[in-house]
Amino acid sequence: MPSTKALQAQQLREPLEVPAPASFADLNPLPRLLMGPGPINADPRVLRAMSAALLGQFDPQFREYMAEVSEIYRGVFQTRNRWTMLVNGTARSGIEAAIVSLVEPGDRVLVPIFGRFGHLLVEIAQRAGAKVKGVEIEWGTVFQPDQLERELKAFRPKVVAVSHGDTSTTMAQPLEALGRLCLEHGAILYVDATATLGGMDLPVDAWNIDVCTAGLQKCLAGPSGSAPLTLNERAAAIIERRRHTEQGLRAPGAVDGDRPRIGSNYFDLAMVMDYWSDKALNHHTEATTMLYAARECGRILMQEGLAAAFARHDAASRAMVAGLQAMGLRIFGDLAHKMANVTGVWIPEGVNGERVRTALLDDFNIEIGTSFGPLNGRIWRIGAMGYNARKDTVLVTLGALETVLAAEGFKLPRGAGVDAARASYIAG
């Protein structure tokens, strides 16, 4: 093997080939209809808000927008939590910020796993140094309260981390009883609501959820890249004891918290809180355009009203299920606990699932998803959420799927899917 030095010398000898800028086409992608498990098409109002003028992060106008974001998302999360803000990054950044800020090395974390995103929570908690117990159930089902109570009693975790809706299986875990149990057993409840916030009811305060995070690219009708987060005083007390303000920012005489420093600078919620509070202590440079997007997503949702938005997602879900079943397809998982915004459907025997997805994309500009792990290539996941939770998008997707399936040789009653979905909408 050539040495590093020899490789470097060879690289310097080779001419650097830089493509001429003119060889790149204009950025002009075909507008797809995104009917997968997210991302979905952003509401055009959100895209318009994102083209507003950039501001400095301490501009009084910008600080006012930050305050408005907190206020709007208190409504979205149905909470009175003072600490309601954004983490800059995709939904996963909110998850990491919550877990790394709550969990000290050696803390016990319990993760009920009912799909891929439970495994993600396990991994993030392990990386934060936690002793993690993951309890997994069959994908396509959810946990019963007595099972969760047994685990809480046996493991006595400091934190329980769970997804509300796990898009990989399309299941939504009921959380009300878990919130009560965590309170009773002195555990902090962290919920990843990336895939459900704005599409399904999630009253953070009423369900005793201590920390909750999300993303914009699902039911909130925005692009990915900002993670709304809320945390209550119980969680804030833990985080504040871990505050160790960055050296270059410290006020003279600043006193550190008595607990270990949070293991990430970027995701240090103590510092993010200081940045969002009246202290306005610099941390990162807030992603201005993403804050505009998050603000507009929340504003659109609150203007529609939470109840109306949940009903819209539910209507789309019922119509999609009715349509798929009328086409002779089988819905995946426990229907009683299906998320309102994504539907899993078994790929029929003898049908090539990837060819169907490719034909939908190539011929109809419609994207649907498959799944992960044990469900990869076995189910499709069809979303109708955020801006795309509409009658027209559901009907168009079902019509296109019917044509493609028929061309694949799958025998189905022509027209039945779209008819059933329309009937579902008419029946209300």
Ligand X SMILES: Cc1ncc(COP(=O)(O)O)c(C=O)c1O
Given the rule CB under 6 A, which residues bind ligand X? 38, 90-92, 117, 163, 166-167, 192, 194-195, 215, 224
Q: Which is nearer to ligand X, 382 or 405 (CB)?
A: 382
Smallest distance, ligand X to C-beta of residue 372, A? 10
Smallest distance, ligand X to C-beta of residue 190, A? 12
Smallest distance, ligand X to C-beta of residue 198, A? 13
Whether the CB-CB separation of 398 and 324 falls below 8 Å is answered with yes
d(CA 18, CA 173): 51
Q: Which is nearer to ligand X, 194 or 397 (CB)?
A: 194
d(CA 132, CA 111): 7
Q: Which is nearer to ligand X, 132 or 197 (CB)?
A: 197
Distances (CA, A) of 383 to 38, 176, 180, 345, 405: 7, 25, 31, 11, 18
Give the relative orientation of helices 306-326 and 391-407 as an angle to the nearest 10 degrees.
20
Q: Which is nearer to ligand X, 119 or 185 (CB)?
A: 119
Smallest distance, ligand X to C-beta of residue 227, A? 7
Smallest distance, ligand X to C-beta of residue 197, A? 10
Residue with tokens 């919130």: 179
d(CA 196, CA 202): 8
Q: Which is nearer to ligand X, 171 or 404 (CB)?
A: 171
Angular region, 377: left φ>0, alpha ψ -120 to 50, beta rest: left
Q: Which is nearer to ligand X, 212 or 421 (CB)?
A: 212
Q: Which is nearer to ligand X, 166 or 286 (CB)?
A: 166
Smallest distance, ligand X to C-beta of residue 71, A? 24
Whether the CB-CB separation of 179 and 208 falls below 8 Å is answered with yes
> Reduced to 3 states, what is the DSSP secondary structure of residue 375?
helix
CB proximity list for 212: less than 8 A, separation 6 or greater: 77, 79, 190, 191, 193, 197, 202, 204, 229, 230, 231
| Structure token pair of residue 170 | 């399309």
Within 10 Å of residue 289's Cβ, how many Cβ atoms? 16
Smallest distance, ligand X to C-beta of residue 189, A? 16
Q: Which is nearer to ligand X, 90 or 424 (CB)?
A: 90
Smallest distance, ligand X to C-beta of residue 4, A? 35
Distances (CA, A) of 46 to 51, 134, 192, 289, 417: 9, 38, 23, 10, 32
List the Cα angle 345/164/212 in 5-degree steps: 150
Smallest distance, ligand X to C-beta of residue 116, A? 8
Q: Which is nearer to ligand X, 121 or 321 (CB)?
A: 121
| Structure token pair of residue 34 | 């995104």
